[in-house]
Structure 1
Amino acid sequence: MAMENPYFWNDFELKQPPLVTLQVEDTGFAKNVFVVINRFLQQLSEPDCKEFEETAALIGRLMARRKNSFRNMPGFRAVCKLNAALCRLLRLDLARDLQQFRGALPDVCDDQLGGAMPTRSSFEFILVRVLGFYHLHERIRECCLSAATYFTKVLRNNFFMDFTTLLIAAIGKIYKLSSLQAGKSATLYNKLRPQVANFPLVERHKFLAESQELPGQLEIIKSTKTETKAANTPDLMMKAKKVVTKVEKAKLEAKSDVGTVIARKEAPKIQFNEEILATVADAQQFIARESKARKQNPPPDSCLTRKIPKHEWLAAQTLFQRKLSKEPAKALSIFRKFIVSKIK
């Protein structure tokens, strides 16, 4: 089967060669192939794979809901490409092909025993499927970064806050889970690739063209500093920054502009001594002294009654003079209480 496309792993018309078996004398290597495939299939049933499928479905629903709002935006086109890659990954169905190939392996694998083994073409088809699975996840992460970079700017401008926050969160989760699955598929490929020469070759069922060759090894995705730095953009929803509106920003600036701080010394409070009004004569002298001081503009600091309103001061003098002729002691007591209440 001739295939000239260098990206044949992404070919929609890629057809599986007939799964036939041939008798071989040594089946010991099949044990390693069986164990590696079985371990990968167990990993596909782990919770993170289920989360990946649920999050991918959420992105598809979000895209369908807002397709009229964002269809002309470059970031939304990246989301559409991301959704197409996720759908393509679902269509690939790597687990089905691995289970089918695993079922064709011999039940008993021993270096001293012969048995029926699938052909090299069938094994190469499995490797191409794993290769497609790996590169689709690479495509998914590229679309995640492109979409998250754009919608992060939208979020900072306070546009579509609820939708954008949810979308960035979903994209970040897809990016993280895609890295995990890509790393697992790379490990599977790197362990299966050296076993190609052990499978029997049938010229009539040859799968790869003469000019095509499978890569010797795939890069395993690990959580390195470079990977963490690249994932900072989609992880923005995990560490959301507080968005400050223009009104709040203006309020903050107004509060921050306090001008030049000047130290001011508080004027010492005047302590009023009641003993200066011990007698009627003291009260009369106090009234004369304060009345003279109040006439100045402004009254001096030595004027104890400068803050008493004019009408209250005149009323206190009138009452004092009226009571003085009949009840001097009562007149003095009323005047003293008035002055003390106003000054203290």
Structure 2
Amino acid sequence: MSSFCLWNEFELKKPPLVTIQVEETGFAKHVFVEINRYLQQLSTPDAQEFNQTAALIGRLMARRKSSFRTMPGFTSVCKLNEALCRLLRLDLPRELENFRSALPDVCDDELSGEMPTRSSFEYILVRLVSFYHLHERIRQCCLKAARYFGQMLSNNFFMEFLTVLLAAMAKINNISKLQTNNCAKLYNKLLKQRSNFPQVEKHKFLPENYEMPTQLTVIKFPQTPREAKETNPAAVTLNVQPCTVVTKLDRSKKKAKADVGTVIARQKPKFSTETAFQLDSLATVEDVKHFIVRESKARQQSPENCVTKAMQNHEWLSAKTIFERKLKAKEEAKALNIFRKFIGSKI
């Protein structure tokens, strides 16, 4: 049986948890302390958020199963959900609690006591390796799915759904790194105590020629400026410069020094709204009718030179519509007043 198949074997046959009398039990206190510290880490709010976010990913996957089933990124999400389910069914905390309960209550180098067999201890080590590699697979699926759905998000596809999915996978990925490091540290410390546990040939757990990993790699996080300064103070320097206020005069001087080419004088347009049009010219309803006909033609032929060039098409259409409706209702004074006020506020 290869090492891969052993840690990846879900229905792994558990050896019987029996205890044997040993002369020295002092090493057991180190095992107890490390397991107890790790169980406390698993009960932190981050671990609870990990389980809640994993459940959210499962619900999101089920909700959009028909929409994304042909997409490669959805396959990665399905594998991610499967790995999260296997991690839940592994139930590492329960295995550690059962093994911890079999350790002696009083541990001393000069006292004898009942200790679990080496097979039970090796079973715990294999479960830690399984936990470690499952988290590694979870992060790989997160990154693979994030690359695919991130490209879809940049193209404005499924904005709301993909935003929630990517945020959930990012949280899973970050918390997974923490749990992986905690698991690797526990395994590396417990592996040193392996030879101290009593071995029973009858309850042998590991296959022949099987070698446990000598060490699990701890993931290195990017250092913050504070951590970098603590490890190497000379590597971090703060370059603080006084903040200078740049005024408009300074910007104009810099712009004058720059080579901007030859300055060409610009002439004002022939038709100026301030000189060519006066609001008092709309004194009667007939004046407004002539203005509407003339301005409608000007907006079609030369929009940049018309009087109402600052008005949008829908605003001009609304002004004409209201004016015509008031005329049909025989409210000529109100139609003239409304149109004059509307045009005066826009030009």
- Shared fold, TM over 0.5: yes
Distance across 1 between alignment mates of 2:9 and 2:102:
25
Cα 1:126/1:261, change in 2 over 3 Å:
farther
Distance across 1 between alignment mates of 2:11 and 2:2:
13
Distance across 2 between alignment mates of 1:189 and 1:174:
22
- Aligned-partner SS, 2:193: helix
- Aligned-partner SS, 1:23: strand
Specify which of 8, 17, 20 is matched with residue 19 of structure 1. Answer: 17
Specify which of 79, 86, 98 is matched with residue 88 of structure 1. Answer: 86
Distance across 2 between alignment mates of 1:156 and 1:187:
39
Specify which of 192, 197, 201 is matched with residue 203 of structure 1. Answer: 201
**Which residue of 2 is the match for residue 214 of structure 1?**
212
- Alignment map for 1:202-281 (pairs within 5 Å): 202-224=200-222, 263-264=264-265
**Which residue of 2 is the match for residue 167 of structure 1?**
165
Distance across 1 between alignment mates of 2:162 and 2:4:
37
Shift of 1:262: 5.5
Specify which of 36, 39, 60 is matched with residue 41 of structure 1. Answer: 39
**Which residue of 2 is the match for residue 176 of structure 1?**
174
Distance across 1 between alignment mates of 2:218 and 2:2:
27
CA deviation digits over 1:25-52, x for unaligned, max 9?
Answer: 0100000000000000000000000000
- Alignment map for 1:63-74 (pairs within 5 Å): 63-74=61-72
Q: Is the 8 A contact 1:22 1:116 kept in 2?
A: yes
Q: Is the 8 A contact 2:3 2:211 kept in 1?
A: no
Distance across 1 between alignment mates of 2:212 and 2:108:
28
Cα 1:58/1:24, change in 2 over 3 Å:
same
- Aligned-partner SS, 2:182: helix
In structure 1, give the amino acid aligned to 2:117.
Answer: T
How high is the TM-score relative to the length of structure 1?
0.65
In structure 2, give the amino acid aligned to 1:193.
Answer: L
Distance across 1 between alignment mates of 2:264 and 2:63:
61
- Alignment map for 1:11-160 (pairs within 5 Å): 11-160=9-158
Q: Is the 8 A contact 1:6 1:212 kept in 2?
A: no
- Aligned-partner SS, 2:4: coil
CA deviation digits over 1:167-198, x for unaligned, max 9?
Answer: 11111110000000000000000000010000
Cα 1:165/1:265, change in 2 over 3 Å:
closer
Give the aligned CA root-mean-square deviation in angstroms.
1.6
Cα 1:262/1:160, change in 2 over 3 Å:
farther
- Aligned-partner SS, 1:61: helix
- Aligned-partner SS, 2:24: coil
Q: Is the 8 A contact 2:181 2:219 kept in 1?
A: yes
In structure 1, give the amino acid aligned to 2:131.
Answer: F
Q: Is the 8 A contact 2:121 2:194 kept in 1?
A: yes
Identical pairs, percent? 65
Shift of 1:224: 3.1
In structure 2, give the amino acid aligned to 1:36.
Answer: E
Distance across 1 between alignment mates of 2:114 and 2:55:
41
Shift of 1:265: 6.0
In structure 1, give the amino acid aligned to 2:128.
Answer: V
CA deviation digits over 1:280-312, x for unaligned, max 9?
Answer: xxxxxxxxxxxxxxxxxxxxxxxxxxxxxxxxx
Distance across 2 between alignment mates of 1:160 and 1:36:
46
- The size of the alignment, in residue pairs, is 231
Q: Where do 5+ consecutive residues of structure 1 fail to align?
A: 226-259, 268-344
Q: Is the 8 A contact 2:54 2:84 kept in 1?
A: yes
CA deviation digits over 1:299-339, x for unaligned, max 9?
Answer: xxxxxxxxxxxxxxxxxxxxxxxxxxxxxxxxxxxxxxxxx
- Aligned-partner SS, 1:7: helix
Distance across 2 between alignment mates of 1:261 and 1:192:
79
Shift of 1:266: 6.5
Shift of 1:133: 0.4
Q: Where do 5+ consecutive residues of structure 2 fail to align?
A: 224-260, 269-347
Distance across 2 between alignment mates of 1:13 and 1:82:
20
Q: Does 1:192 align with 2:187?
A: no
Distance across 2 between alignment mates of 1:12 and 1:133:
11
**Which residue of 2 is the match for residue 311 of structure 1?**
none
CA deviation digits over 1:222-274, x for unaligned, max 9?
Answer: 2137xxxxxxxxxxxxxxxxxxxxxxxxxxxxxxxxxx99631669xxxxxxx
CA deviation digits over 1:44-100, x for unaligned, max 9?
Answer: 000000000011011000000000000000000000000000000000000000000
Distance across 1 between alignment mates of 2:193 and 2:41:
21
**Which residue of 1 is the match for residue 6 of structure 2?**
8
Distance across 2 between alignment mates of 1:32 and 1:64:
44
In structure 2, give the amino acid aligned to 1:49.
Answer: A
CA deviation digits over 1:100-152, x for unaligned, max 9?
Answer: 00000000000000000000000000000111001000000000000000001
- Aligned-partner SS, 2:14: coil
Shift of 1:215: 0.6
In structure 2, give the amino acid aligned to 1:47.
Answer: P
Larger Rg: 1
